[in-house]
Structures are given as C-alpha cells and as structure tokens.
Amino acid sequence: TSLKNAYRKDFLIGTALSLDQINTTNPLATQVISREFNSITAENIMKSMYVQPTKGNYFFDTTDKFVALGKKYKMFIHGHTLIWHSQLAPWVKEIKDSVEMKAFMKNHINTVVSRYKGKIDSWDVVNEALEEDGTLRKSVFFNTIGKDYLVHAYKLAAGIDPKTDLYYNDYSLCEPIKRKGAVELVKYLQKSGAKIDGVGEQGHWTLNSPSLEQIEQTILDFSALGVKVAFSELDITVLPNPWDLQGADVNQNFENSEKMNPYPTALPESVQNQLAKRYEDIFKLFLKHKDKISRVTFWGVNDGQTWLNDWPIKGRTNYPLLFDRQFKPKKAYKTIISLK
C-alpha cells in the first residue's frame, strides 16, 4: 500500500516539493512522490519573490512545471502563497501607500490565480498575518492598507476563481492566544462578505509540543466556524530549540556543537521510536476528526531535503519526515500506515 491509498477515504495526503523535485531530477524522488502522495504544494517557487521579483515581471516556468506534474499524477494542487510578508518581492516591501499596495494585490492575485484557474484546487491567500499574541502583524500590507487588506485579498481571489478553496494559513495556531486571533480573523472575513473556505495550521511541531489536547481544540475551534481544517506543513523536529538555551545566539554556527546537533550521523533507535509514537498519536487524532480535516501535507519528502536541517540554525542533521535520506520509509511511516 501507500500513504495516499491507506488514507484515501479520510483526507488528502500531501507533500511540499522542492525545485529539484519539480524538475524531476531524481527519479527515485519522483517515484516516491507519485506513489505516496495525492496532493502537492510548492515549497518555495510560488512565493512572490520568485513569481514577480520585479514589478510586472512574472516568472511562470517552474510554477507551470509544478502544476503540470500535479496534473500528470492526478493530484490535488495547493497554491502557496499569494500574500505573505516573508519571501516577499523586495520592490513590494518599499510600497508606501494604500493605492499602490492595492494595485500590487490586484495585479498579482489576478495574474497568478487566473493563470491557474480551474487547475489549482486551493490557495493560501494570506499566510502568517498574525503575531504570536494573536494581534495582526504590522506587515507592509497592514501598514499601508490597514486590516481591510485581508478582505481585499480574499475578495480578489474569489472573484477570479470562485471554485478554488481559499485558505488562511499560519503557524502556532495550537497556542490558545494565537488561535483566538485566527478565529477572530476568520469571523472578520466572514462578516465582511469575503469567501474563506479553510484554515491551514502549518504544523511545524516538536516531539512534545503542541499537546494533543491543543491540536484537538484547534480542529474543533476552526471547524465550528464552518471552514475546512488542513494541516499544511507538517514536520516534527527531533533537535533542541536554540531559543531554549539561555543566551544562545541563533546566528552562531552550531554545526560542531554536540548539544545543538546531537545526531550528526544517525538517529538513535530510541528517538526513532519517539518520533513514530508522536506521529502515531497525531494521526490517531486526525482520524478521529477526519470529517473535519481536508488535507494533511508534510513539509517535504525526505530527511535529506527538509528545511529543518537549516532552520532555525544552519548545518544540522534533522529527521522530521517519514522517509530517510535514502528515501526508505522510517518507522513513523509504517506506524501511520498500520493505523489503517
């Protein structure tokens, strides 16, 4: 069997694709992607700094390839992302007034969403609009247009492709304060007559946080608003968080620090088992609420390629995904399959 077949009746099983994987440079990667997953998200290339790096100059070569790959394998294609303060085209960061910012939003959303109208099944319209305390982030969008930029973005996207699902996507939504902010954000969009179909909780998690109770509450709180719930960027780090170390400088090179990079060559069996157990608990919970969950997407295919080898500090050896560096299924993979 495969992940996508095991969970076929429950929810979509997705993965994020790197540029290499979109270009299908590694046949083994393509084989695993097409066998295991029925949904794809572009890890980077659909972000504004790549799609419209300078005003009016759009680059669609790789995004076209990404969509063609999804069509070839009859996958659900998720678009990530239209409006985000990070990996934002530098010229947009310089915009100072609301007229110009609204013009950017209109042109960008119109151009990108209409190019893939009927092909991209759901979009992260706005990504990471909230601060940790649940208030709106003072991004360049907020600073120029105000809170209304959210309504503007969702209305524009719905006007172009009324059938694609429109998501709000963010991290740490299992934290009660931030979740409350996201609930208010969704209610605000709904009250303003904007179309909002779902919330994506990114799911960059650790072996013990967030708790299963918090994850469950997140599913319940968002679905109570009448929107779909997706886990859009799932990965579980097994490495220590540098911010937990008092006085740690995250810019320091931790490559050779045993404390920060404890498993440079292999993951000890005990931690492998902990990871499998954590994924097991999470997927049990997802299955319990399968009627509310539209999609679970892993943020990458294998441990060799995960962004967590380089974030929040560079040069570590992390093991957050279901396939090892040789694309072999790990214990966590088998555990998730065995739940079915």
Question: Which residues are part of the catalytic machinery?
Answer: 233
- Distance of alpha carbon 230 from the chain centroid: 9
Q: Which residues pair with 15 in a beta bridge?
A: 40, 298
Angle formed at CA 133 by CA 137 and CA 145, multiple of 5 degrees? 20
In angstroms, give the least distance from the CB of 84 to ligand XIL: 7
Q: Which is nearer to ligand XIL, 44 or 273 (CB)?
A: 44
Token pair in block for residue 237: 């780090």
Q: Which is nearer to ligand XIL, 142 or 307 (CB)?
A: 307
C-beta of residue 293 within 8 angstroms of C-beta of residue 286: yes
Tell me the residue number closest to ligand XIL, measured at CB. 307
Alpha-carbon dihedral 189, 195, 200, 201, rounded to 10 degrees? 20
In angstroms, give the least distance from the CB of 270 to ligand XIL: 28
Reference 177, options 131, 128, 133; nearest CA is 133
Q: Which is nearer to ligand XIL, 12 or 276 (CB)?
A: 12
Token pair in block for residue 199: 């919330």
Strands 293-298 and 204-206: unpaired
Q: Which is nearer to ligand XIL, 3 or 234 (CB)?
A: 234
C-beta of residue 126 within 8 angstroms of C-beta of residue 84: yes
In angstroms, give the least distance from the CB of 6 to ligand XIL: 26
Residues near ligand XIL (CB under 6 A)? 43-44, 127, 202, 233, 307
In angstroms, give the least distance from the CB of 43 to ligand XIL: 5
